[in-house]
Amino acid sequence: MTFTYDAEKNFLDKKTLLITGASDGIGKACAKTYASYGATVILLGRNQQKLEAVFDEIEELHPGKVIIHPLDFKTASMADFKTLAESLNDQFECLDGLIHNAALLGPRTPIEFYPEADWSDLMQVNVNAVFQLTQSLLPALRKSEDARLLFISSSVGRIGRAFWGAYAVSKFALEGLMQTLAEELENTTSIRVNSLNPGGTRTNMRRDAYPAEDPQTQPTAESLMPVYLYLMSEEAKHIHGQALNARDFKAV
């Protein structure tokens, strides 16, 4: 049964949410959806042209509600993330949400033959950059009265699966980071930390992973947005330290 959420219009008004991997797929859908409910969205991605296209779509419908920040996680340094944090501190009182959506898929090949360079690049993007961005933005998240930190996971990051290589290992790492942060922040901040497995979705990454699959058999990114909206809502502030699944999500 598909989860539905009857969100009030502009319930994210005065909220500032940052989405990584926002130029395409689920990240793009998140950006457009959150802005449509009143949030100011900060879009991170490596492809400036695609980011600008998303910016134009959102700006036309919701003027002044979108900012883009091109950043390639593969080459970004801690200094780059700190510069981003300083820029956001100058523009906003706080950060109310951080959605870690960006990821590389990498080769699907046995560990025995996995290319070392691909392994390093993928871990940099999927794990190290996530750590660096989170660490840099935690002070801004702490300033929020009701902040959310959401790690986008995968089924292969919860139960290992052959030939998923560095991608699976990186998602296991994110689950560990989520659990560690959730326990550290539970009693000292208002930040609620969770992971979400969106399941198979009609995205370019899914197409690359399953080139022979008919994309029409998978749900669209837009169809998942009720879950993403709910997790940013006040009703979800009790959900913390949980490994959630979009496909069987139920509000509790």
φ, ψ at 217 (rounded to 5°): -80, -10
Considering all CA atoms of the chain, what is the largest pairwise distance in Å, rounded to the nearest integer?
A: 52
Helix axes 25-36, 48-61, angle to 10 degrees: 20
Q: Would you list the DSSP string of 158-170?
A: TS--TT-HHHHHH
C-alpha span between 221 and 224 (Å, rounded): 6
Selection from 80, 76, 100 nearest residue 178 by Cα:
100
Does 167 participate in catalysis according to the annotation? yes
C-alpha span between 211 and 233 (Å, rounded): 36
Distances (CA, A) of 166 to 22, 26, 106: 22, 21, 7
User: Which residue among 167, 210, 228, 230 is the active-site one?
Assistant: 167
C-alpha span between 114 and 193 (Å, rounded): 32
C-alpha span between 43 and 28 (Å, rounded): 9
* Residues labelled as active-site residues: 167
